[in-house]
Amino acid sequence: MQRVEIIASGRVQRVGFRDLVETIAQDLGLSGTVENQKPYDVRIVAEGEEEALQAFVEGLKVERGQIRVRDLEVRWSEATGEFPYFQILRGDWQEELGERFDVAVGLLHRSIEIGEENLALGRENVAKGRKNRAIGKLLLVKKDQIPVNKRLQYLSSEISKRTPLR
């Protein structure tokens, strides 16, 4: 059994990193703790089989959502057996609650941004659909009246008139 002590730096506080660390540790059958370390880092102590700990360290190199692990300072030693399971050590409940609200607000803002992007894409798709329908109607009306090469020229000019330049 081995022990690893890690200081994770980057964007690791107020972004759900400790929860992710706990999940990875539990999935690998490790015991230990994870806690915020003032001012911006996260301290992790984990014990278990060396292979699982190596996978754990690799799994902590995260850039997902708001989490950005810039650096991991890793120290190895022999396990002490002091941890029965893996847990998050939380600070003052008011500070923890404030952090959760900060994370929730950030996620809400991102959700709104994505919704606005989807709305804009939807409007663009509706506009293109209307153009396609208008072109189709023109084709139906004109197809018997115009020779094929003239139809193609006409279609091309109609499409270029209706397609905005970007």
Catalytic residue among 18, 118, 133, 166: 18
The answer to whether the predicted template modeling score (pTM) of the entire model surpasses 0.85 is no
Strands (E), the chain: 2-11, 31-37, 41-48, 63-64, 67-78, 86-88
Domain boundaries defined on the chain: 2-90, 92-166
Note down pLDDT in tens along the chain; length 166 residues: 999 999 999 999 988 899 999 999 999 999 999 999 989 999 999 999 999 999 999 999 999 888 999 999 999 999 999 999 999 998 888 888 887 787 788 788 889 999 999 999 999 999 888 888 888 877 776 566 666 677 677 778 878 776 665 5
18 is catalytic: yes
Cα 103–Cα 107–Cα 109 angle in degrees, nearest 5 = 120
Catalytic residue among 14, 36, 123, 149: 36
DSSP 13: S
Q: What is the per-residue pLDDT for 143?
A: 60
Q: What is the per-residue pLDDT for 89?
A: 93
Q: Domain spanning 2-90: which CATH class is it, in words?
A: alpha beta
118 is catalytic: no
